[in-house]
A and B are shown apart, each in its own frame.
Chain A
Amino acid sequence: MNLIISYPNRVALYTILRKETTRFLRIWTQTLLPSAITSTLYFIIFGKLIGSQIQPIHGVSYMQYIVPGLVMQAIMLNAYSNTSSSFFGAKFSRSVEEMLVSSMPDLTIMLGYTAGGALRGILTGCIVLMISMLFTHIHIQSFTIVILMAVLSALLFSLGGLINAIFAKKFDDVSFVPTFILTPLTYLGGIFFSISQLSPFWQKVALLNPILNIVDTFRQGMLGTSDIDVRFGFLLVTVLFLILIGWCMMLLRRGTGLRT
């Protein structure tokens, strides 16, 4: 614990956080704007145009129903791509060596990047939520669930992006997971539909998708309606997060992809 709390390590942690935050704020047209635009389009097309012809799901309008999923999607994808592109960029320019030679522990590097990515995830999530307010009224049912789930998911996906960047050898390697794994899983993750609309078999299959569990837990907090037990959602995110922490620390200690 001393590793995090000691004064020099707090300074180091703050340095990474400041660097990461200035980075994504400076290039906001690439980091914050895209989510704002796509979510606006979703609200117009799915929410307004198509949604007006769809029955309410679990008693909420379709427009309201898609808000939590789109907010969570923004959180997950932005948190992930922030650390993966920023840390891979540092590897690519070799400026990551500035951190590796310094006296800060690996743990601080992990915490700093993870927190930095999570910050961008949460910020874009807030932007999407604010945009949704232009289209519909959301009465948040449980702030505790919403905030906890937003923070935990942001941290989880941010850390996932870091691990991706540690393994990545070229730029293609950092876009692979978001494009071919995360995005499909988010669309299958119940942003636009409730699994109660699926046949029993496909319901079981859909539940294997961790993102569906996350989105649904988040929706419970926001709208008070979900298909799963929120306790399971939290357990899942926490367990996955702990696994990734252990994995990431092991990679950093070994120097995988960083030290020869």
Chain B
Amino acid sequence: MYALEVNHLHKTYANGLVALKDINLTVPEGDFFALLGKNGAGKSTTIGILCSLVNKTSGKIKIFGHDMDKQLYAAKSCIGVVPQEFNFNPFEKISQIVINQAGYYGVPWRVACQRAEKYLKKLGLWEKRHQPAMRLSGGMKRRLMIVRALMNEPPLLVLDEPTAGVDIELRHGLWEFLTELNNSGTTIILTTHYLEEAEHLCRHVAIIDHGKIIEDAPMKSLIQQLHVQTLVLDIAAPLDDAPKLEGIKCRQLDKTTLEIELNITQTINVLFAALNKAGITVVSLRQKINRLEELFVRLTQPAGVSS
């Protein structure tokens, strides 16, 4: 069973802007799926169509097998959404916001109150329940929207850039919560432009660029696709020229910093053997950029520019 099937999805906005061009995606039940892309790539448009805030131009979408054209209400009841922008009434009390949301889904009041308590406690908002939403901090507002999205206990939770503007500590707390939720069976789709987030959380990644899916693969195989990794070394003794290392590309950034490019067949052992041979002592080593980021840069480079 697929939690989500998207076929040949197109979107042209009223002003003529073509936001999505033939999007095809399948997300299996129980998956943790990332939709990755730069700003303006079309992530929010895709999410907007899934939760019917944006009208699609053409294409077919099924949520847990329910066709959005034919079984709209069944499809909608399977999905909970955390939008990118805050979209609650800032004057309304937190408990009201979440209980009303449950009501819109037809969850009876008594059950709604129990769920509100459960999820508000879980996300650390229970103490604030009597306050109007505008009194919450940015991170709390984000969590309020997560609680709200869970009120119909949807089998599919969609989050649009849930950790944008959330500080690191809170981000990790959120990741933990989402992982736990996913482990208990909820399918999760999130969009992000933090690659680290996708790498840390998700099992599948689709990369969207200019309204097109340019990559759709399990995270592992995506990482394996990387043919090169770039390392930056700080060395003990200053060098005047870049050292010659056998079969390894090496560039000098300054007297005590080297940039090394290893291809997929070269291990770090090979590198160190060569460094030993050249008598170079390495103080520290780091990856120049996250490997996924490297892939991302390669994939989203306009054709012709990539080397």
Query: Could you tell me which A residues sit within 8 Å of B by CB distance?
Result: 6-12, 14-16, 18-19, 89-90, 93-95, 97-105, 255, 259-260
Given contacts A7-B106, A19-B100, contact A259 B52 (CB under 8 A): yes
CB distance from A169 to the nearest CB of B (A): 14
- Chain B 102-134, CB-CB to A under 8 Å as 1, else 0, gives 011111110000000000000000000000000
Interface residues of B in 78-111 (CB under 8 A from A): 79, 81, 83, 85-90, 92, 96-97, 100-101, 103-109
Query: In the complex, what residue of chain A is closest to B104 when comparing beta carbons?
Result: A102
Q: How far, in whole Å, are A105 and B72 apart by their CA atoms in the complex?
A: 9
Q: Is B281 interfacial (CB 8 A cutoff)? A: no
- Secondary structure at the A interface, as helix, strand, loop or mixed, is helix
Q: How far, in whole Å, are A99 and B87 apart by their CA atoms in the complex?
A: 11
Q: Could you say which residues of chain A place their CB within 8 Å of the CB of B152? A: 102-103
- Tell me the count of chain B residues lying within 8 A, CB to CB, of chain A: 35
Q: Could you say which residues of chain A place their CB within 8 Å of the CB of B100? A: 15, 19, 98
Cross-chain contact A260 with B54 (CB below 8 angstroms): yes
B89 contact from A14, A18, A90, Cβ within 8 A? A90
Cross-chain contact B90 with A93 (CB below 8 angstroms): yes
Q: How far, in whole Å, are A99 and B73 apart by their CA atoms in the complex?
A: 12
Q: How far, in whole Å, are A23 and B73 apart by their CA atoms in the complex?
A: 28
Query: In the complex, what residue of chain B is closest to A96 when comparing beta carbons?
Result: B87
Q: Is B28 interfacial (CB 8 A cutoff)? A: no
Q: How far, in whole Å, are A75 and B55 apart by their CA atoms in the complex?
A: 36
CB distance from A94 to the nearest CB of B (A): 4
CB distance from A17 to the nearest CB of B (A): 10
Q: Is B53 interfacial (CB 8 A cutoff)? A: yes
Given contacts A105-B73, A259-B54, contact A99 B104 (CB under 8 A): yes
Query: Could you tell me which B residues sit within 8 Å of A by CB distance?
Result: 13-14, 48, 51-55, 73-74, 76-77, 79, 81, 83, 85-90, 92, 96-97, 100-101, 103-109, 148, 152
Extra A-B contacts (13), CB below 8 Å, given A11-B109, A97-B83: A12-B105, A15-B100, A15-B103, A19-B96, A89-B89, A94-B85, A94-B86, A95-B92, A98-B101, A102-B104, A103-B152, A260-B13, A260-B54
Query: In the complex, what residue of chain A is closest to B106 when comparing beta carbons?
Result: A8
B106 contact from A18, A93, A97, A104, Cβ within 8 A? A104
Cross-chain contact A103 with B76 (CB below 8 angstroms): yes
Q: How far, in whole Å, are A101 and B160 apart by their CA atoms in the complex?
A: 14
Cross-chain contact B104 with A15 (CB below 8 angstroms): yes
Cross-chain contact A260 with B55 (CB below 8 angstroms): yes
Q: How far, in whole Å, are A99 and B100 apart by their CA atoms in the complex?
A: 9
